[in-house]
Amino acid sequence: MPGWPTAGHDSRLQHTIDPDAREGYRSGTNASPGNVFCGYDLHLAVNARGLGGTEVPFVITAMHLAPAGSHKGDAGITLIDQHLTRHRSGGAPG
């Protein structure tokens, strides 16, 4: 499509008609090389047992969908805030 990529609303390159999808990097594993992709990163917070504690089911307690390549620390803070808000209010996870 002519004119692509263009600067998106966040000044990062927009490669598709989706106004929020961005370019990210997927690390390589074993014999597979890393590569670039266009889309989103899904961040999840799950229950986990404490060190030496009893097993707990891995239940998703918060999620955050961010444009690919976004700052991982910002996503982590968002997950913690969501988890604490729901935990304090007694709301359902997710």
| pTM of the predicted model as reported, rounded to 2 decimal places | 0.67
The structure tokens 């889309």 sit at 39
52-86 per-position pLDDT tens digit: 999 999 888 888 999 998 888 998 999 889 888 88
What pLDDT is stored for residue 89 in this prediction? 66
Q: What's the average model confidence in pLDDT over 28-52?
A: 88
**Separation of alpha carbons 37 and 77, rounded Å:** 24
What pLDDT is stored for residue 54 in this prediction? 92
* Mean of the per-residue pLDDT values of the chain: 84
**Separation of alpha carbons 23 and 16, rounded Å:** 10
Instruction: Please list, in sequence order, all residues whose beta carbon lies within 8 angstroms of the beta carbon of residue 89, skipping any fewer than 6 positions away.
Output: none
What pLDDT is stored for residue 73 in this prediction? 92
What pLDDT is stored for residue 6 in this prediction? 79
What percent of the chain lies above the pLDDT cut of 70?
Answer: 91
What pLDDT is stored for residue 15 in this prediction? 81
